[in-house]
Amino acid sequence: MKTEDVTSGQHKKISGKQYEQELGKLQLELVKLQEWVKFKKLRVIVIFEGRDAAGKGGTIKCISQVLNPRICRVVALTTPTEREKTQWYFQRYVPHLPAAGEIVLFDRSWYNRAGVERVMEFCTTDEYWDFLRSCPNFERMLIRSGIILIKYWFSVSEEEQEKRFKSRNADPTKRWKLSQIDLKSRELYIEYSKAKDEMFAYTDTKISPWFAVDADNKKRARLNCIHHFLSMIPYEDLTPEPLEFSPKKENKGYVRPPMEEMTYVPEVY
């Protein structure tokens, strides 16, 4: 039996063709949702948390790649600076909250404190417990202000995580995704599980629940997560009608400069 954060059903394979077809349908709906968020001036936050190599980044990419970056943006903060370490913990996240008509996708969030900071002892015990007590109140304030807050936890088995770590290590184009903290997380799998359980106990509230995503199958995880996200915000289809192109004007006297005077990128391919 595999070790896993959530109980899941049996994984069924999904073909590449089926995946692309379903993803295309969902991405079309994402565009419709985007127009609705803009029209209704909604403020949306989607938090993506979970195990290292659980597939958060791939899901975020599938969502954001078809959307207008002026409306949907990804926030992935780096290690806090020395100055930020002295601030109120949530302060560095506040400037990234959405304004009217915006969707913000947090690739990890303030929950770093309950996860990696707790397990790796990057914060004190007092700071950790203060976070668990404060977080539900912080999120309650966001929601009461009108923000739509959706939280996803990507769950991956220990066996699948190990497989993905080794795959990344073997691929020079993906090796940058691995860090010493990632490698350390392999040794602390159970500690991360306990930290997640404790985090859920305090922050999985009725007003701001966690939604767990079974992520052992990346393709299914992406489709299921996007489908659920779309179901969380009622929207209507405001897709504009195709524009009518007027006839192009005739060239009246314009002479293009000689191509030899331009500096072109070498045609290597």
Asked whether residue 197 is assigned to any structural domain, the reply reads yes
7, part of any domain = no
Of 172, 260, 154, 264, the C-alpha closest to 216 is 154
Which residues lie closer than 8 Å to 32 by C-beta, 6 or more apart? Answer: 235, 236, 237, 238, 239
Domain count, the chain: 1
Residue 193: name the closest of 25, 39, 2 by CA. 2
Domain CATH for 189? 3.40.50.300
The pLDDT score that the predictor gives to residue 56 is 96
pLDDT band of 179, cuts 50, 70, 90 = confident
Q: Say how far apart CA 91 and CA 80 lie, in whole Å.
A: 11
Is residue 259 in a domain?
Answer: no
End-to-end Cα distance, the chain: 50
pLDDT single digits (tens) 68-87: 999 999 999 999 999 999 99
**pLDDT tens digits, residue range 36-48?**
999 999 999 999 9
Is 70 exceeded by the pLDDT of residue 7? no
Q: Residue 133 is part of which domain span?
A: 16-239
Length of the chain: 269
Helices 56-64 and 218-231, axial angle in degrees (round to 10): 50
User: Does the global pTM surpass 0.85?
Assistant: yes
252 to each of 49, 106, 149, 257, 258, how far by Cα in Å? Answer: 59, 52, 56, 15, 18
214: confidence class by pLDDT, cuts 50, 70, 90: very high
Q: Is residue 146 part of a domain?
A: yes
* Residue 249 located in a structural domain: no
Note whether residue 231 is domain-resident. Answer: yes
In a domain, 9, yes or no: no
In a domain, 260, yes or no: no
